[in-house]
A and B are shown apart, each in its own frame.
Chain A
């Protein structure tokens, strides 16, 4: 399948060592730009993701280029790792440009603990996280139930709802993209089905690549930036990766159905049904953005609730109080989102609808949306790798703001399909192999660990080095995993 679907026939021009151009041809309205090095590009050509970059360039009102980050891989509709911005008058918004897991994202906490403080307790920590944070089918905590009225408040207020209920602190909110709440959320635009799916899933991890991971800072690349983010060597960190669960999936599904009709209604020609869309400035477009914001807020609340349980777990196992634990939120970023943001186009400030599908906002130092304590450093960018190797902390840059609408990569990106990974893992004890590397892992799903084994992913170092060298992100620190729970 890969062979016949590869994209070796697509013409690519080299711009520099880290930038490649797919010149506009046929119905493309703009060029495609891919951030990658030469070796990566060969891998990228083996699936259909470059074709997807060109497909996105078909869409009306696209501003700048159809962009792809180095962790690009074949998604549905938009490629994963795709970024595209659209004019608010002429342009479109597409649910396929956000994806099913609306506001799937990552947050990172620092702590007052060092690696040696927890080394002999890692088993207990992982087991207790596994008990305290539900994952898998039907898993949810009895002490968090949402009736319809409460659920709508979650959709309206996001992480702030969680903090008001006692899950976390006001200070957490300062360190979340958009302060954990998109303002244009309108719960009346969310279907009964989506609400039903969301009712029992708040505070659950979900499956696949979602996780809670305890790690430690293994390398620091920039002392000053690390200090600004409160990171130091050997410090224990915790990363949470999850999204909007069934509620987000249903919102996407509902609005794709709407948009299939609106694409025809507005005469938008689509190379793939999954790219269906509507003008940003249309009833359908506004309704999708209002519903999407609800799902995004649900995801912010989800990560906030889980954070609270992580803190409780650490206190419980380490037998220390919050003051010694110092589990402060460094930052929380969205990986799948469409947002109205102000950017500079041809020297003029302009509001655009920026889609990031498997990409991270990376705003530069001094940007007003960057929290005060990071104003000089730039917005923290969190890049999880596979579960066996490492993750990175970066910050946004001026160059990202100019070239990529303030966006950068989001993760390692798969190289092996889930099936191939399961085959490759046959006869191996992945859990044991990880244990030998000093990583304790527990998972609810039977095949999750095989599907998610380290070799199934690109080395995230390669991805991070490309964005660092291209100047659309700056490396701050590297984190190595010690223990994690997977969905």
Chain B
């Protein structure tokens, strides 16, 4: 199964993310976000970070999760490549994420993402999988 697909949006960029369960859906979303930002093959797993976020529902939880990762990237220069969701409910999640800090000359930044939007946000369960649509502001 594909982890995610990029969808076209005139000004920005959309993501259609898949997972066999919620845990995998959110992990794949994290990976998709950082594959857009950089070349993950250049990123080592030398640093880990605990991430805890909440939201009113699954859709808000998806935005706050990706938003928190983006915040850590912006403030600390973190590049994450592996995401382990330890606990997830409809209103909160706990995760440990692995990666390293951006190093000039070593890492190539492909795209800078401004924000994770609520525009047409969706998280839903289908017959045999979960899917989510997220639109990013670039």
Contacts and interface: CB of A to CB of B under 8 A. Distances in A.
Interface of A: 1-2, 47, 73-77, 80, 96, 99-101, 136-138, 193, 196-197, 206-208, 246, 249-250, 252-253, 256-257, 260-261, 272-274, 276, 414-420, 444-447, 451, 487
B135 interface: yes
B8 A260 contact: no
B102 A197 contact: no
A451 B12 CA distance: 11
A257 B112 contact: no
B8 A1 contact: yes
B118 A256 contact: yes
Nearest to B119: A76
Interface in B92-138: 102, 104, 108-112, 114-121, 135, 137-138
Interface in B36-90: 56, 59-60, 64, 67, 71, 74-75, 77
Nearest to A78: B119
Given A249-B115, A250-B71, A260-B118, A446 B13 contact: no
A15 B61 CA distance: 44
The 6 tightest CB contacts between A and B, nearest first, are A76-B119, A207-B112, A274-B119, A100-B115, A273-B118, A76-B117
29 contacts: A1-B9, A75-B11, A76-B118, A76-B119, A77-B117, A77-B118, A99-B137, A100-B115, A138-B102, A193-B75, A197-B74, A207-B111, A207-B112, A208-B114, A249-B115, A257-B60, A257-B64, A273-B59, A273-B118, A273-B119, A273-B121, A274-B119, A274-B121, A417-B13, A418-B13, A419-B8, A445-B109, A445-B112, A446-B110
Nearest to B112: A207
B10 A252 contact: no
Point out which of B6, B12, B64, B115 has the most chain A C-beta atoms below 10 A from its C-beta: B115
Given A74-B11, A208-B112, A446-B110, A272 B137 contact: no
Interface in B1-18: 6-14
Contact of A447 (B102, B111, B114, B121): B111
- Give the size category of B's interface with A: 35 or more
Contacts of B138: 208, 418
Given A256-B118, A276-B118, A445-B109, A76 B12 contact: yes
B11 to A, nearest CB: 6
A138 B121 contact: no
Contact of A260 (B14, B56, B74, B114): B56
A416 B11 CA distance: 8
A420 B71 contact: no
Contacts of A136: 109, 112
Contacts of A414: 10-11
A2 B114 CA distance: 23
B105 to A, nearest CB: 12
A253 B112 contact: no
Nearest to B71: A193
Contact of A76 (B56, B109, B111, B137): B137
A77 B12 CA distance: 13
A100 B114 contact: yes
B42 to A, nearest CB: 12
Given A137-B102, A246-B74, A253 B115 contact: yes
A210 to B, nearest CB: 10
B30 to A, nearest CB: 17
Given A197-B71, A273-B119, A447-B111, A417 B8 contact: yes
Contacts of A75: 11-12, 119
Nearest to B111: A447
Given A445-B110, A446-B109, A77 B119 contact: yes
B75 A137 contact: no
